[in-house]
């Protein structure tokens, strides 16, 4: 038998460079070998041949194998033992409850847009949940609530950010090693892992933030072929991602700002291209306006349209909406209240400013000024919101009490408003208001035996938002907007959303505004609840509000409530943290009870990931400065392409971090550790990007050593701190070795 021919074995680098690969090499087999030796040698040669083929196939398909393995690891870590705790953990108490409202179709109010909470409701519907559970913090889940399936749904979004990080890095031109490291850092961050495993909005917010960056990277990659199919695809998908991320939380607007700055820079560069026709330049503006403004706005508004459509029953959030909107909710008693207002009507009065409350009074008095009964605005339904329209002239009271007589209230009518519970009359005088001292105080004063001209007010109808009631002859419940002018002082009853101190229960101050303009909605009111036995109930379908008005009203109320989430000086919030504590992992967050028998979760980032990410931002800034100095001195070693990639990618990642992090320093609201998570993602991608950049001229061996050290540090640290995310059993003292800093409060008493 002839000796087998020895063939060339391809080096792995040749395989990566698509070099042709020959058949595997075989050793020479002599005819003098006995049969057993011959068979063994032949078997060994075949095994080596198979191994070489597998190695070659693996190298050639690395671009598929690596993201597949990363994705499988992502799902394994996110889903692993996800039902270890059978109790409601941290903010599951809020977002699980909001999901329940959708399943019960009951209207509620929250400071966040509705898309993420509707997805939570979808997870409950898919899990067979009926919305009956209260989601009280720390409470055991009942058997009929498949909380594990709901958590898996949320964890699914958290798992997808790992392959998204890999794909984004590849889009930005990073090497396979750098892209794999980026995904591994996201995969092995214990904070990302922990936050993804519960019924919260953060995993969805992170996914759509990552998707926005991924699509923006696609726009950058296709920038040299504008109006191509790929360019249109990435531009459109960026708009879709921005619409989704903004509809989960308003933090998504920071992603909108990043894309907006990138777009402005692109359009400015195109403006300097003298070869570009003016019509083509205009088309660039139109394309971006449609894809990056119109599409996100449509998606954002569509989420609210779905929100209003699903929540068609009366619920705990009714009072935050306009009176006309409340009346169209199923089960709301406003729908059948009499339409036209008359003397003797018992009413509640709602301020028409965005986020306005209900006119309110209680037995407590002002501590200074007149020391008369307080009059405020209150956002919740309460018996102390009830007032009665009475005649300004006591001699007309007999006609008011006559069961047959009905005198309607119209434009220019003078009235007195009597607080039903305390019998005090709405009153004002030339005494400074308690907070807004340049306006007059409004109080509750007197009783039925006291007659004072300063209790008299005049009704001035502004308009009627119901199309069928355009005239000003009568005040109509829900739809008529009117001013209440003090007859003696000529000032307007107004509420400017100024909060009273603790003695006023932090309710809204009501003043008689002597400077108010006639078109100031803070001085506009409407009748919300209305009761009058002399008048017939309203016919069915008499109440209709317009979507756009409801959309604007709800967003204004969300904005006001968000701004009201400020630290309480009288309360020590041990879970809150300052933005300066986030990047260096100076603080963690206990997500549940810390008792020995409870499964405990500690929200803490992987120190190697967070420290290196924050350091990379400084390294980028210093490197950019050094390169600029070198270029000014005309001895920079970077080529034009290298410099363009360093600046464009680095600037995108740095601005993404900056826009998602720095605004928290100027916000007045209370902040928590999870607010840093979107910013963290951009800084994580900066690490492998810089490693790629600084090792591009290193030998393959040194480059491999650098990346191996990085992978090892990230993975080992993750394994060490993973119990924080997977759930700690037993006493917290067993994990005291992992408390590197006292502020981590793993074993400290709170």
Q: Please give the mean pLDDT across all residues of the chain.
A: 90
CB 285 within 8 Å of CB 267: yes
In this predicted model, what pLDDT tens digit does every residue of 373-428 receive, in sequence order? Answer: 999 999 888 899 999 999 987 666 555 555 557 899 999 999 999 999 999 999 99
pLDDT of residue 23: 45
Ramachandran region, residue 371 (left: φ > 0; alpha: ψ -120 to 50; beta: rest): left
Q: Between 667 and 363, where is the model more confident?
A: 363
User: Helices marked H in 18-91 — which ranges?
Assistant: 35-60, 62-79
Q: Give the whole-number percent of the chain exceeding pLDDT 70.
A: 90
Tokens of 357: 């409350």
Tokens of 682: 């951009």
Q: By three-state DSSP, how is residue 506 classified?
A: coil
How many Cβ atoms from other residues are within 10 Å of residue 309's Cβ? 10
CB 689 within 8 Å of CB 174: yes
Q: Length of the chain, please? A: 750
Closest to 199 in 3D by CA, of 112, 80, 105, 100? 100
Closest to 503 in 3D by CA, of 369, 611, 408? 369
CATH of domain 339-520: 2.80.10.50
Tokens of 732: 């917290």
Closest to 707 in 3D by CA, of 179, 174, 177, 185? 177
Query: Per mean pLDDT, which range of 142-151, 427-436, 440-449 is the poorest?
Result: 440-449
Paired residues of 443 in beta bridges: 374, 427
Domain range list for the chain = 12-60, 67-305+580-744, 339-520
In this predicted model, what pLDDT tens digit does every residue of 291-327 receive, in sequence order? Answer: 999 999 999 999 999 999 999 999 999 888 888 898 8
C-alpha to C-alpha distance for 349 and 528, rounded to whole angstroms: 6
Q: Between 8 and 368, where is the model more confident?
A: 368
The secondary structure element, H or E, covering residue 387 is strand 387-390
CB 482 within 8 Å of CB 525: yes
Residue 388 CB contacts under 8 Å (≥ 6 apart), including other chains: 344, 345, 346, 347, 417, 418, 420
The alpha carbon of 688 is separated from its chain's Cα centroid by a whole number of angstroms, namely 28
The residue whose two tokens read 């464009």 is 648
Report the pLDDT averaged over residues 726-748: 91
C-alpha to C-alpha distance for 18 and 453, rounded to whole angstroms: 95
pLDDT of residue 569: 67
Report the pLDDT averaged over residues 716-730: 96
In this predicted model, what pLDDT tens digit does every residue of 143-189 receive, in sequence order? Answer: 999 999 999 999 999 999 999 999 999 999 999 999 999 999 999 99
Q: What residue ranges in 576-709 does DSSP mark as E strands?
A: 589-590, 602-603
Is the model's pLDDT at 12 over the cut of 50? no
In this predicted model, what pLDDT tens digit does every residue of 528-586 receive, in sequence order? Answer: 999 999 898 887 666 678 899 899 989 988 998 888 777 766 666 788 999 999 999 99
In this predicted model, what pLDDT tens digit does every residue of 81-100 receive, in sequence order? Answer: 999 999 999 999 999 999 99
pLDDT of residue 55: 73
pLDDT of residue 396: 62
In this predicted model, what pLDDT tens digit does every residue of 454-495 receive, in sequence order? Answer: 999 999 999 888 755 556 788 999 889 999 999 999 999 999
Report the pLDDT averaged over residues 341-352: 94
CB 529 within 8 Å of CB 326: no
């Amino acid at each position: 038998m002839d000796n087998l021919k020895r063939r060339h074995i391809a080096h792995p680098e040749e395989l990566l460079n698509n070099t042709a690969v020959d058949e595997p090499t075989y050793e020479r087999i002599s005819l003098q070998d006995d049969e057993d030796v011959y068979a063994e040698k032949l078997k060994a040669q075949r095994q080596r041949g198979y191994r070489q083929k597998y190695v070659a196939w693996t190298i050639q398909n690395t671009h598929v194998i690596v993201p597949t393995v990363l994705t499988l690891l992502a799902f394994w870590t996110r889903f692993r033992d996800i039902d270890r705790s059978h109790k409601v953990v941290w903010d599951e108490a809020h977002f699980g409850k909001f999901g329940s409202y959708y399943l019960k179709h009951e209207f509620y109010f929250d400071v966040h847009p509705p898309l993420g909470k509707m997805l939570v409701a979808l997870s409950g519907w898919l899990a067979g949940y009926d919305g009956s559970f209260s989601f009280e913090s720390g409470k055991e889940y009942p058997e009929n609530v498949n909380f594990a399936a709901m958590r898996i749904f949320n964890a699914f979004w958290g798992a997808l950010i790992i392959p998204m990080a890999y794909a984004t890095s590849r889009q930005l031109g990073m090497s396979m090693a750098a892209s794999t490291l980026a995904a591994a850092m996201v995969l092995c961050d214990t904070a990302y892992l922990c936050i993804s495993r519960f019924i919260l909005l953060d995993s969805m917010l992170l996914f759509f933030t990552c998707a926005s960056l991924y699509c923006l990277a696609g726009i950058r990659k296709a920038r040299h072929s504008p109006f191509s199919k790929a360019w249109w695809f990435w531009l459109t998908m960026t708009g879709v991602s921005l619409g989704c991320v903004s509809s989960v939380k308003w933090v998504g607007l920071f992603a909108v700002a990043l894309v907006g700055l990138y777009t402005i820079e692109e359009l400015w560069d195109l403006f300097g291209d003298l070869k570009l026709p003016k019509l083509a330049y205009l088309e660039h503006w139109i394309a971006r306006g449609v894809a990056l403004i119109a599409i996100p706005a449509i998606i954002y508004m569509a989420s609210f349209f779905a929100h209003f459509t699903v929540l068609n029953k009366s619920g705990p959030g009714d009072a935050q909406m306009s009176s006309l909107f409340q009346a169209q909710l199923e089960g709301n008693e406003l729908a059948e209240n009499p339409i036209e207002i008359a003397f003797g009507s018992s009413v509640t009065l709602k301020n028409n400013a965005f986020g306005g409350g209900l006119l309110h009074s209680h037995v407590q008095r002002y501590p200074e000024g007149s020391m008369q009964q307080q009059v405020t605005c209150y956002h919740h339904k309460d018996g102390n919101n009830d007032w009665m329209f009475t005649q300004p002239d006591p001699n007309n009271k007999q006609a008011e009490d006559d069961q047959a007589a009905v005198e309607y209230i119209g434009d220019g009518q003078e009235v007195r408003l009597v607080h039903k519970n305390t019998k005090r009359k709405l009153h004002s005088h030339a005494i400074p208001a308690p907070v807004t001292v340049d306006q007059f105080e409004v109080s509750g004063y007197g009783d039925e035996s006291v007659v004072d001209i300063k209790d008299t007010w005049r009704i001035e109808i502004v308009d009627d938002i119901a199309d069928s009631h355009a005239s000003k002859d009568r005040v109509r419940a829900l739809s008529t907007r009117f001013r209440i002018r003090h007859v003696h002082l000529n000032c307007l009853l107004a509420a400017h959303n100024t909060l009273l101190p603790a003695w006023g229960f932090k309710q809204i101050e009501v003043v008689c505004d002597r400077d108010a303009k006639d078109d100031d909605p803070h001085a506009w009111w409407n009748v919300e609840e209305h009761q009058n036995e002399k008048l017939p109930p309203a016919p069915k379908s008499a109440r209709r509000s317009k979507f756009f008005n409801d959309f604007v009203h709800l967003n204004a109320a969300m904005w006001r409530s968000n701004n009201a989430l400020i630290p309480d000086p009288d309360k020590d919030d041990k879970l809150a943290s300052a933005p300066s504590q986030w990047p260096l992992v100076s603080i963690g967050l206990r997500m549940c009870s810390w008792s020995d028998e409870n499964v405990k979760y500690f929200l803490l980032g992987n120190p190697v990931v967070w420290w290196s990410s924050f350091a990379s931002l400084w390294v980028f800034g210093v490197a950019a400065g050094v390169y600029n100095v070198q270029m000014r001195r005309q001895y920079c070693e970077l080529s034009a392409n290298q410099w363009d990639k360093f600046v464009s990618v680095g600037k995108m990642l740095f601005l993404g971090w900056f826009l998602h992090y720095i605004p928290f320093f100027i916000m007045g609201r209370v902040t928590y550790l999870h607010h840093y998570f979107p910013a963290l993602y951009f800084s994580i991608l900066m690490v492998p990007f810089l490693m790629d950049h600084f090792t591009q001229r290193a030998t393959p061996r040194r480059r491999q050593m650098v990346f191996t050290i990085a992978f090892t540090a990230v993975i080992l640290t993750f394994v060490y701190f993973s119990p924080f995310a997977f759930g700690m059993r037993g006493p917290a003292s067993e994990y005291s070795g992992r408390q590197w800093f006292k502020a981590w409060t793993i074993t400290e008493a709170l």
